[in-house]
Amino acid sequence: MARQIALVLLVVAAASAHATPPDPPARLSAALDRYRAIAHAGGWASVPDGPLVHAGQADAAQVPALRQRLRAEGALGDAAPAGDTLDPALAAALARTQARLGLDADGILGPKTRAALNVPAAERARQVATALDRVANLDLPRDGRWVLVNVPEYRVRGFDAGRETITMKAVVGADADGWRTPLFRDEIEYVVFRPFWNVPTSIAVAELAPQGPEALAADGFELVRSFSPDAEVHPMTAENLQRLVDGHLLIRQAAGPANALGLLKVMFPNAHNVYLHDTPVKGHFARDERALSHGCVRLERPATMGAWLLGWPEAEVQAAMDGGGYQQVDLAARVPVVIAYLPAWAGDDGAVWFAGDPYGLLG
Give yes or no: residues 202 and 218 share one domain.
no
Alpha-helical (H) ranges within 58-198 are 62-72, 88-100, 111-117, 121-138
Give yes or no: residues 244 and 340 share one domain.
no
Give yes or no: residues 288 and 311 share one domain.
yes
Is 157 within the bounds of a domain?
Answer: yes
* Rounded-to-integer distance, Cα 69 and Cα 46, Å: 7
Is 328 within the bounds of a domain?
Answer: yes
**Is 262:282 a contact under the CB 8 Å cutoff?**
no
Is 63 within the bounds of a domain?
Answer: yes
Give yes or no: residues 201 and 323 share one domain.
yes
CB atoms under 10 Å from CB of 205, counted, come to 17
Per-residue pLDDT tens digits of the chain, which is 363 residues long: 444 544 444 445 444 444 566 688 899 999 999 999 999 999 999 999 999 999 999 999 999 999 999 999 999 977 667 899 999 999 999 999 999 999 999 999 999 999 999 999 999 999 999 999 999 999 899 889 999 999 999 999 999 988 899 999 999 999 998 899 999 999 999 999 999 999 999 899 999 999 999 999 999 999 999 999 999 999 999 999 999 999 999 999 998 878 999 999 999 999 999 999 999 999 999 999 999 999 999 999 999 999 999 999 999 999 999 998 899 999 999 999 999 999 999 999 999 999 999 999 997
Give yes or no: residues 112 and 238 share one domain.
no
CA 361 to chain centre: 17
Note down the domain range covering 83: 2-124
Number of structural domains, the chain? 3
What CATH number should be reported for the domain holding residue 275? 2.40.440.10
**Is 263:278 a contact under the CB 8 Å cutoff?**
yes
Is 359 within the bounds of a domain?
Answer: no
Give yes or no: residues 186 and 278 share one domain.
yes
Give yes or no: residues 29 and 155 share one domain.
no
Q: What are phi and psi of 129, to 5 degrees?
A: -65, -40
Give yes or no: residues 249 and 269 share one domain.
no
Is 130 within the bounds of a domain?
Answer: no
Residue at which a domain ends, from 73, 99, 124: 124
Q: Tell me, what's the pLDDT at 10?
A: 46
Give yes or no: residues 241 and 298 share one domain.
no
Residues 6+ apart with CB under 8 A from 147: 156, 157, 158, 159, 188, 276, 335, 336, 337, 338
Give yes or no: residues 278 and 327 share one domain.
yes
Give yes or no: residues 62 and 176 share one domain.
no
Give yes or no: residues 316 and 266 share one domain.
yes
**Is 70:82 a contact under the CB 8 Å cutoff?**
no
Exposed/middle/buried for residue 55 (C-beta within 10 Å: 0-12, 13-18, 19+): middle
Is 193 within the bounds of a domain?
Answer: yes
Q: What is the DSSP secondary structure assignment for residue 144, as one 8-state letter? A: S
**Is 230:272 a contact under the CB 8 Å cutoff?**
no
SS3 category, 86: coil
Is 22 within the bounds of a domain?
Answer: yes
Residue at which a domain ends, from 254, 282, 314: 254
CA angle 47-50-56, nearest 5°?
85
Cα→Cα distances 160→95, 141, 294, 306, 309, Å: 27, 10, 30, 15, 11
SS3 category, 127: helix
Residue at which a domain ends, from 198, 223, 254: 254
Is 169 within the bounds of a domain?
Answer: yes
